Amino acid sequence: MLGAVIRIYRAGTAAEAHLLVDELHQHRIETYVNNEASQGMLADIASSQPDVCLLDEQDWERAMVVVRQFAAAQQRDDQGVLICPACKEESPSNFELCWRCRSPLTDAD
């Protein structure tokens, strides 16, 4: 049985939660998805959304770095496109490099 729930991220969907869990596991941070099964039954209730939770609270700081990067990437994905600072070509927001000139894409505001 797991100890206290240490929620580090509330996902909109189970798929989103599992993407983050996979990313955290790549950084050797052990996590699990909580509330995954109840999402379909109680979709309108915030507490029924899937939570990504830590197994070891000592991983908190490292996990939060990954969570912030993941959340920023999710936000970029929601925006659709990024404009390359070098050649001004549009690329999908989930690309890290421009498809045309291979320059790094950034979120210049």
109 in a structural domain: no
Tally of domains within the chain: 1
Q: 10 Å Cβ neighbour count for 82?
A: 20
For 47-104, how does the pLDDT look when each residue is reduced to its tens digit (9 = 90+)? 578 999 999 999 999 999 999 988 887 776 556 778 889 998 888 777 888 888 989 9
Considering the domain boundaries, does residue 29 fall inside one? yes
Judge whether 107 lies within some domain. no
Which residues pair with residue 31 across a beta bridge? Answer: 54
Is 40 inside any structural domain? yes
Q: What separation, in Å, do the N-terminal and C-terminal C-alpha atoms of the chain show?
A: 46
In this structure, the dihedral spanned by the alpha carbons of residues 2, 6, 12 and 17, taken in order and rounded to 10 degrees, is: -60
Element (H, E) at 35: none
In the block, tokens 């909580």 appear at 34
Domain of 43, in residue numbers: 6-79
The model's pTM: 0.62
The answer to whether residue 88 sits within a structural domain is: no
